[in-house]
Amino acid sequence: MQFDRFYWRHARYGVFMAIACACFTSPALSQTVTVASGASFVLGAGTLTTGCGDVNVAGQFQVGSGTVTGTNNVSISGGTLDGGSGLVSLSGNWSNAGTFVPGSGTVRVVDGCGATESQIIGDNTFAAFSANSGTGKQLTIASSSTQTFNNALSLTGASGNRLLIRSSTPGSSAAFVLKPGASQTIQSVDVSDNDASGGETIAPDVPSAFDSVRGSNLLNWFVEIAPPIPVDTLPLPALVALIALVGLALRRKLPSTRAAHNA
């Protein structure tokens, strides 16, 4: 299914018929929706269900307050996808080689369409982003790319089937930027090769508090608490030095304590 300038200029009612077909087609029938270069597609408050087909945007696609669902891959190839206040739900890859305007809408990665991996390609700013899987899906972020989350970030897997978060190049980080004030829901994830130092700490507690696994090459994820060092494992010179330091600290504190008592 393709929307182009011919439909808009010469058969406007035919366009609305085509949109209606996209909305009410059985999910078993896969539809690839293409907004051609120079064309505009306004979803408004409607619902576009592609039945595991793809959405390709080379023109202008305004989601409005509508819902795009049942989609496999979303590709912005030189065009503009305006998220409005709506929802775009996909099971495959999100590729941005054009312009994504987040608005106040949500982009949601879910299980379905036989996809065991979803790739996030290009730099993106999301108002709200969620990736939710109960099957151990892998969310692969393009290395050296930056994903910014303005209002909300939700990353959830399932116990025993954690959501895997990886860089497209092992050992090379992708960046997450969680803006101040944004909400976060993190549960049952296994994450590696991610640099979140440009924003708020993601999952600010020990990994076990989130049923999660801290992989390698992480910045500003989780809070690691260093285990205490048993005193009896210290070598004798170190133990003597520690006792001397404690004594020195106490002696330095005593004069101020006495002065306060005399006053």
Q: Within this chain, do residues 90 and 138 fall inside the same structural domain, yes or no? A: no
**Distances, alpha carbon 32 to alpha carbons 70, 96, 135, 177, in Å:** 11, 17, 25, 32
Average pLDDT of the chain, as a whole number: 86
Of 75, 92, 115, which one is at a domain's C-terminal end? 115
| Cβ-proximal residues to 136 (8 Å cutoff; 6+ apart), any chain | 116, 157, 158, 161, 162, 163, 164
Same domain, 76 and 153: no
Residue 195 to residue 173: CA distance in whole angstroms: 6
Give residue 226's pLDDT. 60
pLDDT band at 1 (very low <50, low <70, confident <90, very high): low
* 70 residue type, one letter: G
Separation of alpha carbons 176 and 196, rounded Å: 5
Asked whether 37 and 78 are in contact (CB, 8 A), the reply is yes
Asked whether residue 99 falls in the same domain as residue 53, the answer is: yes
Mean pLDDT in residue range 102-116:
98
Among 115, 137, 158, the domain boundary falls at 115
DSSP state letters, 136-157? --EEEEPTT-EEEEEEEEEEE-
Q: In one letter, which amino acid is 261?
A: H
CB of 46 within 8 A of CB of 23?
yes
Q: Please tell me whether residues 204 and 254 are part of one structural domain.
A: no
- Do 235 and 178 lie in a common domain? no
For residue 215, pLDDT beyond 70: yes
- Specify whether 194 is located in the same domain as 234: no
User: Are residues 38 and 92 both part of a single domain?
Assistant: yes
Q: Who wins on pLDDT, 228 or 141?
A: 141
Place of tokens 């006495």: 258
Q: Are residues 213 and 261 in the same domain?
A: no
Q: Is the backbone of residue 127 left (phi > 0), alpha (psi -120 to 50) or beta?
A: alpha
| Partners of 146 in the β-ladder | 175
Is the per-residue pLDDT at 204 higher than 50?
yes
Are 77 and 176 within one domain? no
2 and 87 part of one domain:
yes
The pLDDT, as a whole number, for residue 231 is: 57
pLDDT top residue among 102 and 31: 102
Q: Are residues 86 and 175 located together in one domain of the fold?
A: no
Q: How many residues does the chain have?
A: 263
| Domain assignment of residue 235, given as a range | 230-263
| pLDDT recorded at residue 241 | 80
Tens digits of per-residue pLDDT, 23-46?
433 445 789 999 999 999 999 999
d(CA 126, CA 251): 56
Q: Is the pLDDT of residue 114 over 60?
A: yes
Q: Are 184 and 176 in contact (CB under 8 A)?
A: no
- Among the three residues 61, 95, 115, which one is the final residue of a domain in this structure? 115
- Domain count of the fold of the chain: 3
Model-level pTM? 0.79
Residue 246: predicted pLDDT: 73
- Distance, CA of 60 to CA of 36 (rounded, Å): 8
| CA atoms of 195 and 219, how far apart (whole Å) | 5
Alpha-carbon dihedral sign for residues 251, 254, 259, 260: positive
Query: Can you tell me the mean pLDDT for 129-157?
Result: 98
